[in-house]
A and B are shown apart, each in its own frame.
Chain A
């Protein structure tokens, strides 16, 4: 296996630690993702998929275990370190697009770059424009998210996730609230970026059709990985 972009070792996650309602959601997850892999994460509701994605996305800390991204141990980092690693290495695509309504489509795509470098510059604008072009939305660059359809918003979100050319993109049900046709388009787009840029993708999905089109399928049930098939 080539150098991994992601490695989870015995990751546990509990909520409400120390209270009577303490509940462990993830029970010792081991997971490796190689560079450029295109992986589906499936499982019934409440199986801990979103929690796992948050832990991988460095948005939540595991209760125990190790999370490494690009061979960097995230468990040892403080908040500033996590933020830096997240900005550099990870792209996010959420179920409900989560674009920032106050900014145009183009500005939304530029945002991760602006955050990384402190202020916008023409080169960023160019790169963001190229990404919008790649998702077929160059005409909508100046529009606010509210003026775009759900599918268009999700395509903008994918362009945004790829702005910093992250080694790993995390997608939480990216097609969840889209119709089949639009969902297929969005999926195809991710696949294309995966092939062109070599970014690894970890996609949470309910759709068995889409899962079948990934390189690998990881199945999570009640906080434990029960299937890991190519």
Chain B
């Protein structure tokens, strides 16, 4: 064992009470930081997951139509009021080519074409306004985890089979196997059989979404062979916005990422991240001050020993390192203990914080990288906090230090 480590360990062991207290301080600090980070990370990923459970990462739509007045704009004598055009339901131009290109593009996991538009669902005298979503179930499954939300039947819209939300089923009073009538504005209509029911967690969507086959939707919405949008799943969740912008630039289509659609959620997440960062910074600062103050006291107490070591040929650098190591050791031991306590807190939280139905509220995320980062930060903090007292120890005048009793 090198001289510096040997002396550092002995000094720590000798000042037992101080050492234990400061390790306890570091432990508490690290436990708070790790626990809060795990909690917030878990909460955030839970929120994002819930949000994206019923949404694609990126949705591609045809560009909006706009008025192109054939007026001489340079002529100041003309007073014109240009009304924006009503946006009719349109297909993406040459969507098969676009789809093939997007599905193969790097950074994109899956793509699913969709034909969607407004319709009425009716049974008997009851009629409800709905949105028809014509999808290829195999492709759609890869983009939205709708299967996890199925409460009855299977997610298999095909032929004249349709999948509806539980709210709509309740409103129309239908069960699996019952038929409902879908009608669109162009008085096209068809009878479909309900083969599945879902609950995506949002009443509005449970009331409005009706999944059908693409073919049926194309017929009802009068878009033969066309699709109204393409849904995409990307690898990098938080890179969705950038990817969307690239796609929009390359294809001239409208590309909207989930980050745009849920701007409020995103800003809430950012605010949370900022506040945890603040807490973490202050806790780290307090821990650093604690380590520094204990070591300052220790340097004063150990003046004589430092003087003797210097007289015996220990250089300033060696004395400096003895105290830096003490700071690092205290921080390291404290952070290991603190991570353990945080892990225990997390599992306690997961056990006791539950929804009314007994399911987990959300799971705090304890990633290995969180521990490693915490240990490294703690180590750096300990060594930095020790810098001042260590410098002071190294600069002690040996003759004076020995004379002090």
Residues of chain A touching chain B, judged by Cβ–Cβ distance below 8 Å, are 50, 54, 57, 59-60, 79-80, 83-84, 86-88, 92, 94, 96, 98, 100-103, 111-112, 114-116, 118-120, 160, 164
Contact = CB atoms under 8 A, between A and B. Distances in A.
Nearest first, the 9 closest Cβ-Cβ pairs linking A and B are A87-B313, A59-B399, A102-B10, A102-B14, A54-B399, A112-B312, A83-B315, A60-B399, A115-B314
Contact of B1 (A50, A119, A160): A119
A80 B13 CA distance: 29
Interface string B1-22: 1110011001101100000000
A57 B397 CA distance: 13
B311 A86 contact: yes
B398 A114 contact: no
B61 interface: no
Contact of B305 (A84, A100, A160): A100
Given A94-B402, A96-B405, A120-B1, A115 B313 contact: yes
Given A59-B398, A96-B405, A84 B3 contact: no
A83 B11 contact: no
Contacts of A160: 312
A197 B311 CA distance: 21
B308 interface: yes
Contact of B14 (A50, A94, A101): A101
Contacts of B14: 101-102
A163 to B, nearest CB: 9
B310 interface: yes
Contact of A115 (B3, B316, B402): B3
For B6, B304, B305, B311, the residue with the greatest tally of chain A CB atoms inside 10 Å of its CB is B311
Contacts of A98: 304, 308, 402
B1 A115 contact: no
B6 A92 contact: no
Contacts of B313: 83-84, 86-88, 112, 115-116, 164
Nearest to A59: B399
Contacts of A86: 311-313
Given A54-B399, A59-B399, 16 more contacts: A59-B311, A59-B398, A60-B399, A79-B316, A80-B317, A83-B313, A83-B314, A84-B315, A86-B312, A86-B313, A92-B311, A94-B308, A102-B10, A102-B11, A102-B14, A115-B314
